[in-house]
Amino acid sequence: MPEEIQLKMLHSVAGLQHAELMRPGYAIEYDVIEPWQLTATMETKIVKNLFTAGQMNGTSGYEEAAGQGIMRALMPPCVPRTSLASRYAAPTPTLG
């Protein structure tokens, strides 16, 4: 969020109208593989037999990153896409 917007938000809080911002908040942005670019087995649609999990799939926490890795590890390495895709009904890979 731009610094001026952060400052505006801060100043909108009663009692903080004249507060000074010492350092603005920031977010780390990075490229990820979008969920729709993967099959339900976490295989990339573009590169066959390439499976991804964790941060590169856009997760932002330890548990989900590890959970995706575990889920993928528990699946047989080479299974027909259709059989697994039907077992995991979600249209895109999620942990939810």
Ligand X SMILES: Cc1cc2nc3c(=O)[nH]c(=O)nc-3n(C[C@H](O)[C@H](O)[C@H](O)COP(=O)(O)OP(=O)(O)OC[C@H]3O[C@@H](n4cnc5c(N)ncnc54)[C@H](O)[C@@H]3O)c2cc1C
Give the interface with ligand X as residue ranges (CB under 6 A): 54-55, 59-63, 65
**CB 51, CB 75: distance < 8 Å:** no
Nearer to ligand X, 60 or 82 (CB): 60
Smallest separation, CB 36 to ligand X (Å): 19
Report the distance separating Cα 84 and Cα 70, nearest Å: 16
54 versus 88: smaller Cβ distance to ligand X: 54
Min separation Cβ 27 and ligand X, Å: 11
| Helix H or strand E segment including 67 | helix 62-74
- The residue among 82 and 94 lying less far from ligand X, judged by its C-beta, is 94
The tokens describing 86, both together, are 């039907």
Residue 64 near residue 58 (C-beta atoms within 8 A): no
**Minimum separation from the CB atom of position 53 to ligand X (A):** 7
